[in-house]
Amino acid sequence: MAVKEMLLPVMKVHASDLARRALVVGDPKRAEQAAQLLEEPQLVGSNREYVTYTGKYAGESLTVCSHGVGASGASVCFTELLQGGVEVILRAGTCGALKEEIDDGSLVIGTAAIREDGTSDQLVPLAYPAFADAGLVQALVKSASTQAKVYRGVILTQAHLYPGLLPSTIDLWCKAGAVAVEMEYAALLVIASLQGVQAAGIFITDGNLVRKQAALSTSNYDPHREVVTQGIQRMLRIALDTLVQV
């Protein structure tokens, strides 16, 4: 079967409905939000957490899809997009800041990722690096150049959101210079690198784990504030502006 005739089995999207460049986000509602920024967006697939739209932005064909929470499920989305012919994937998501000076609603561009995602180590040994495409990172920097402050650096990807009984590694990775933490980026970078395609990520901070000086919990985590909402809208615009450059 030719690639463009393929029905991607989990995402339930025909490969012919995918653009060469894709924006991926965790939340299906955020995918809808990004799709509203496209010209004549079409819903081309919806199954489980995977909701997919294709349309045009600045005259260029782009796909937007959601991948859910966590690297395991997200890796299905990333893999099927690549199997469907996508050549560039940009992740836009939220993250927790790991630097004292990073305020909520700040932009962070991920140059690489620490592989505590719980999935990529099943694909290739942990000695293999998770690095973003340099050209795509520079395009993100250019698109975000009008913003007052943009942070760049290594992102910690962890397989869990809330802590359990085992000691957290957050302090270790803060000392090593990680700038933020999230749950899917390392898996994307590893899968893209193994397939020889471009991938990178841009994030909005929805909390600062260093300032809290306490384990993340349902009582001290609130990602639904206006500063985060406005930051997400800026981030989506920057991500789409970047995709049409590459």
Catalytic residues: 206
Alpha helices in the chain (DSSP H): 28-35, 71-83, 134-143, 170-175, 185-195, 209-212, 226-243
Do 86 and 156 meet the contact criterion of CB atoms below 8 Å apart? no
Provide the β-strand partners of residue 91. Answer: 24, 201
Report how far residue 231's alpha carbon sits from residue 109's, in angstroms, rounded to the nearest whole number: 13
**Cα atoms in the Cβ-side hemisphere of radius 13 Å centred on 246:** 30
Strand boundaries in 21-144, DSSP class E: 21-25, 39-47, 50-57, 60-66, 88-97, 107-116, 130-131
What is the signed CA dihedral for 14, 186, 89, 35, rounded to 10 degrees? 80
Contact 28, 70 (CB under 8 A): no
